[in-house]
Amino acid sequence: MDKIIRCITKDGGIVASAMDSTKIVATAQELHKLSPIATAGLGRLLTGASLMGNQMKQKKAVLSMRVDGKGPLGVLIASATSEGNVRGFVQNPNCKTEYYPNGKLNVGKAVGRNGYLYVVRDYGTGQPYKGVVQLVSGEIAEDITSYYANSEQIPTVCALGVLVEKGSGKTMLAGGVLIQLLPGATMQTAVKLENNIKKLEPVTTMMAKGMGLVDMCRTALDGFEVEVLDESPVHYYCSCSKDRVQQSFATISDEDLRNLVNSKGKVEAVCHYCNKKYTFTKSEIENFIESRKK
C-alpha cells in the first residue's frame, strides 16, 4: 500500500513529507499504457501532486497541476485530493524513451522546458487559488521547488523518483520527498538542512536500500529532533461518474448532441483519467437536453 508520512522538527522550523508511490505509478502505467519515459514523467507529477495535496488542511480541497513544456510528451495533468489520492494523464502516453549518457531517463527532454507549471488549489469556495511558474528543467521536482520559491515564497526541497526496469519497462519503485522551511525558521536551521540535502541520495536509491519513509525523513533532517505527525494511505483514485461526464456535455449544443446520438444510436464518452467508458442512450440524451432547458 502506498503512503505518505509527515514529520516536523521539534524546533518547529521544518516540515517534511515522504511518499511511497510505487503502486500509484504502476497503476497509471497500466491504465494509460505508458512508455518508460511517460511513466517517469507522469509518475513524478502524480507523486508531487499527491505530496502537495496531502498538505492541504481543508477536507474537500483539490489540487490540480498542469505541466506544458512543449516537449514530445505533450501536456501532463495530475489532480490530488487533500488526502493525497491522485489521478492524472499525459497527452502522448507512448512517447519515445530517451536516456542521459549516465543511463537515467531523460525526463527533462521529453517534458520540455519551454513552458509553464500551473497549480490550482480549489477549496470548494468558488475562489480557487492559482499559481504559475516558468519551467526550470522539465524534470518536475526542480520545477515544483521553483514553483514554491517563486509563487508561494516557501523555501522548499522537492525530490521525486520513478525507477523503471530497463528490459520490461515496468515500474519498480516510485516515491518522493517534500521538505519546507516554516516561517520563523532560523538561518542556522536553513544552513543545516541545506547541508543535509547535499548529501541526500536519490529517493529510489534510498527505497532500493530498504529505507522506510521515516528513515528517509530522518536522513534529510539529520541533526534535528524529528516528530512524526501522521501517516496516510494513498492510492490512484478517479472521482468520475456518469453524472459528471454528463455535465461535460454542457458545452455541446442540443443540435450537436442529437446529431451525435442519431449517427451511432448512443453517445460514448471516456474519462481521460481512468479510461472508464460511459454510454448514454438516445433517451438519456433527450432527458439531458430537456433537463437543461429548466
Point out which residues bind Zn ion (CB under 5 A). Answer: 238, 240, 271, 273-274, 276
Residue nearer to Zn ion on the CB measure, 147 or 273: 273
CB of 239 to Zn ion, least distance (A): 7
Identify the bridge partners of residue 78 per DSSP, sorted by sequence position.
65, 88
Residue nearer to Zn ion on the CB measure, 116 or 237: 237
CB of 220 to Zn ion, least distance (A): 34
- The SS3 call for residue 184 is coil
CB of 274 to Zn ion, least distance (A): 3
CB of 44 to Zn ion, least distance (A): 21
User: What is the C-alpha separation between 130 and 82, in angstroms, rounded?
Assistant: 16
CB of 269 to Zn ion, least distance (A): 10
Contacts of 110 (CB under 8 A, 6+ apart): 37, 38, 41, 71, 72, 73, 95, 97, 98, 138
Residue nearer to Zn ion on the CB measure, 56 or 271: 271
CB of 192 to Zn ion, least distance (A): 44
User: What is the C-alpha separation between 240 and 243, in angstroms, rounded?
Assistant: 8
Residue nearer to Zn ion on the CB measure, 185 or 274: 274
From 4, 71, 76, 34, select the one nearest 230 (Cα to Cα): 4
User: What is the C-alpha separation between 62 and 60, in angstroms, rounded?
Assistant: 7
**Which three cell numbers mark 5?**
508520512
CB of 272 to Zn ion, least distance (A): 8
Ordered alpha helix ranges (H), the chain: 22-32, 36-54, 107-111, 141-151, 187-199, 203-208, 213-220, 242-247, 254-264, 282-291
Give the DSSP letter of residue 95: P
**Which three cell numbers mark 53?**
495535496
- The SS3 call for residue 276 is coil
Residue nearer to Zn ion on the CB measure, 49 or 217: 49
Residue nearer to Zn ion on the CB measure, 93 or 138: 93
Residue nearer to Zn ion on the CB measure, 24 or 179: 24
